[in-house]
Amino acid sequence: MIKRTIYIGNPSYLKINQNQLVVQDPQSKEIKGTIPIEDIGLLMLDHFQITISNQLITNLQGNNIAIINCDAHHLPLGIMLPLYGHTEHSERIRYQLEASEPLKKQLWKQTVEQKINNQKALLQINNKPFEQMDFYLANIKSGDITNMEGIAAQYYWKNLFTNFSRERYGNTPNNLLNFGYAVLRSIIARALVCSGLLPILGIFHKNKYNPYCLADDIMEPYRPFVDKMVYNYITMHQKSNELTQEIKAYLLSIATQDVMIDNMQRPLLIAVSTTTASLFKCYTGELRQIKYPALD
């Protein structure tokens, strides 16, 4: 069953009743809706006047549901995840901790290759210059010591959008990309926990202030799927200066977008679980290649 992404953007009191998430108006006490806990994958809270019961939080975490909290700019600020989501948690963490540097360098090389392949595919689909991406792909070394990821990104952004500079706090469509990436990061972090891995221990990203280094690694080949959604929205609507609820709802649907992975078409939320499961098997030596989706 495909898990649902629930967005709450109005003053609300959230509680649990008979294993259902109940959304109640805090003033009138009217019940606005109910959703079975087992159907939810992500819950996004985007209003300062949302109150959530501790009993509900406990049940959400018990079902491996990611709770995303937004800031004053309506951008995802924090993620709440359970401490563990797999029965073999301690054993799986041991394999993760014991992963060798050569293995991690090879895994990062595979990650960069698929990211650039997906970026190339998006350029090609939209009749943008893409041939240079083949050069970057041919020059990726173990651990990406030549930084082909960064060099390819400069070429990619220059050609995907017109007069665009990719910046964290830059002009549109940076705000749309940032929102989409934050949702994607939450999806990845949730899947890592479900696979019994620690999101904090990256294969490439290493930052003592970042609790989601591994999520930031694994999400790289998935980023072009967000880029595709943003590009299509801008192309169709030609109005995207503000991060409206309409755009948020559209970007939140990334979880249900179909992608090709392991020669099968799967919703992105399911594909991410395939990726994190294959990563664990790479740690154990059962696999030598991470399973990532291909953009087409």
pLDDT digits (tens, 9 = 90+) for 2-21: 788 899 999 999 999 999 99
| Helices 148-160, 101-125: crossing angle, 10 deg rounding | 20
pLDDT in tens, 259-289: 999 999 999 999 999 999 999 999 999 999 9
Angle at 128 between CA 270 and CA 246, to 5 degrees: 50
Among 28-32, 84-88, 120-124, 234-238, which stretch is predicted with the lowest mean pLDDT? 84-88
Report CA-CA distances (Å) from 175 to 67, 224, 279.
21, 15, 30
Task: Determine the Cα–Cα distance for residues 259 and 69; give it in Å rounded to an integer.
Answer: 27
3-state secondary structure of 147: coil
- Whether the predicted model's global pTM rises above the 0.85 cut: yes
Domain spans, the chain = 4-80, 89-284
CA gap 190, 181 in Å, rounded = 14
Q: ∠210-76-173 over CA atoms, to 5°?
A: 105
Proportion of the chain above pLDDT 90, given as a percent: 73
Q: At what angle do helices 268-284 and 101-125 cross, to 10 degrees?
A: 150
CATH of 89-284, one of 1.25.40.420, 3.40.50.720, 1.20.120.920, 3.40.50.970: 1.20.120.920
Q: Name the average pLDDT for the chain.
A: 92
4-80 and 89-284, same CATH topology: no
Sequence letter at residue 36 = P
Which residues, 6+ apart, have CB-to-CB distance to 54 below 8 Å?
A: none
Confidence of residue 240 (pLDDT cuts 50, 70, 90): low
- For residue 87, the model assigns a pLDDT of 61
Strand 4-8 and strand 40-45: the pairing is: parallel
Whole-number pLDDT of residue 55: 96
Does the pLDDT of residue 238 top 80, yes or no? no
**Rg of the chain taking only CA atoms, in angstroms:** 20
Please tell me which residue, 296 or 6, carries the higher pLDDT value: 6
Q: How far apart are CA 80 and CA 109, in angstroms?
A: 30
Residues 6 or more apart whose CB falls under 8 angstroms from that of 219 comprise 181, 184, 185, 188
In the CATH hierarchy, which fold is given to the domain comprising 4-80? Ribosomal Protein L15; Chain: K; domain 2 (3.100.10)
Predicted confidence (pLDDT) per residue in 57-101, tens digit: 999 999 988 899 988 877 788 888 877 665 667 888 899 999 999
Helices (H), 31-83: 54-62
Does residue 1 surpass a pLDDT of 70?
no
